[in-house]
Amino acid sequence: MANQETILIVENLGVKFDNNEVLKGLNFFVQKGDVLAIVGPNGAGKSVLFRALLGLIPYSGKIQWTPGLKISYAPQKFNIDKDLPLSVEEFLKFKQKKREEIINALKAVGITDEHHIEHHILKQRLGWLSGGQLQRILIAWSILDNPDVLLFDEPTAGIDVGGEETIYNLLKKLKDKRGFTILLISHDLNIVYKYANNVICINKEMICYGEPNSVLDPASLAKLYGGEAGFYKHEHEHDH
């Protein structure tokens, strides 16, 4: 199955916290340019999977990245309160990049007006940005060091559906232009159908794996979410 374009191989991956199995028996691989979505209910171990892939927590089994890949990560948990005194410029500068590179990254995420960048974005407090702007800044942050792989842990949590679609369009556009690979965690199956070419469903163990249209069938969704799946789709029918 795996050819020379494969950049990540995961075999029999398991994670335990204090003898609790949080993940077990995960097998999948990722090829260059893939958009792999990870779906599952709350507490299914999706964020844990990312942390294992980043080597931040101990695990059993095999995680094999192609050596030398640059991996960028946007976590789910950000404590950016309205009153956090941290400007956008300071936040982006933590990546220790030149100002020019920062401005280029901002342009890449659709903030193109240099006057606006200089006077309204960079000097702005991070916590005062609208949800959509903040996501753009986080994406800019993620692409600042030209990564080969982006790991996004629900980068759209807390954003209204309209804004959410734009962010994914943006991600897709960036991916097509720069050719990176995306692994993303999402609650929204519509996003998964639209943007991912592969999906893994997990609930501590692997429930399904493959192309969204073929593996996200009613049986595996019911197994994955239980009663939640029906509600979930219903909710989105109203939204559109």
CA 63 to chain centre: 18
The interface mask with another protein, positions 20-59, x = CB under 8 A, is -------------------------------x--x-x---
Q: How far is the CB of 86 from another protein (least distance, A)?
A: 5
Q: Which residues of 178-213 are buried (b: 16+ CB within 10 A; e: fewer)?
A: eebbbbbbbebbbbbeebbebbbbbbbebbbbeebe
Count of residues in contact with another protein, rule CB under 8 A: 24
Helix (H) and strand (E) counts in the chain: 10, 9
- Please identify, among the stretches 60-68, 82-90, 191-199, 200-208, the one whose residues bind another protein according to the rule CB under 8 A: 82-90
Check binding of 148 to another protein (CB under 8 A).
Answer: no
- Kindly state whether residue 195 participates in binding another protein, applying the rule CB under 8 A: no
Three-state DSSP at 64 gives: strand
Least separation in angstroms between CB 125 and another protein: 5
75 contributes a contact to another protein by CB under 8 A: yes
17 binds another protein (CB under 8 A): no
Q: How far apart are CA 3 and CA 18, in angstroms?
A: 37
Q: Which is nearer to another protein, 71 or 229 (CB)?
A: 71
Distance from C-alpha of 214 to C-alpha of 84, rounded to nearest angstrom: 45
Residue type, 143: I
Q: How far is the CB of 214 from another protein (least distance, A)?
A: 32
Residue 74 lies near another protein (rule: CB under 8 A): yes
Q: Which residue type does 90 have?
A: E
Amino acid at 128: W
Contacts with another protein, residue ranges (CB under 8 A): 51, 54, 56, 71, 73-80, 83-87, 89-91, 94, 123-125
